[in-house]
């Protein structure tokens, strides 16, 4: 859709320079900027989709004799002796 914008002269010059540097159109640079701004607003307002984090509900635990408070013991049990 065509529209008319009243932009600050320096902002327009910077946008045109960025478009030329990226070898794209001024329209595309403006579209990208609006998309970024709208995504940031949606994220800040909490309207973005919730992500379900997978949770392991299995049974088990540590191997007998492994001290869960010792990083060294946990690394050795994992086979990472570094």
Output the six-digit token pair for 1: 């859709």
Tokens 């004799």 -> residue: 65
What integer pLDDT is reported at residue 14 of this predicted model?
A: 96
Is 35 inside a domain boundary? Answer: yes
Q: Which domain holds residue 40?
A: 9-45
Mind listing the pLDDT tens digit for each residue in 49-78?
Answer: 677 888 878 777 777 888 889 999 888 888
- Once rounded to an integer, what is the mean pLDDT over residues 14-18? 96
Is 19 inside a domain boundary? Answer: yes
| Cβ(62)–Cβ(68) below 8 Å | yes
Q: pLDDT at residue 24 above 60?
A: yes
Count of domains observed in the chain = 1
User: CA triplet 29, 35, 40: central angle to 5 degrees?
Assistant: 130
Is 38 inside a domain boundary? Answer: yes
Is 56 inside a domain boundary? Answer: no
State how far the Cα of 55 lies from the Cα of 28, in Å rounded to an integer.
41
Nearest partner of 15 among 3, 6, 27, 1, judged by Cα: 27
Instruction: Please report which confidence band the pLDDT of residue 80 belongs to, taking 50, 70 and 90 as the band edges.
Output: low
- Once rounded to an integer, what is the mean pLDDT over residues 21-48? 86
């Amino acid at each position: 859709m065509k529209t008319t914008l009243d932009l600050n002269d320096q902002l327009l010059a910077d946008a045109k320079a960025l478009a030329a540097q990226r070898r794209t159109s001024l329209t595309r640079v403006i579209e990208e900027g609006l998309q970024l701004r709208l995504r940031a607003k949606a994220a800040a307002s909490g309207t973005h989709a919730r992500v379900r984090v997978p949770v392991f509900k299995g049974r088990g635990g540590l191997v007998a004799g492994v001290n869960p408070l010792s990083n060294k013991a946990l690394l050795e049990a994992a086979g990472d002796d570094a």
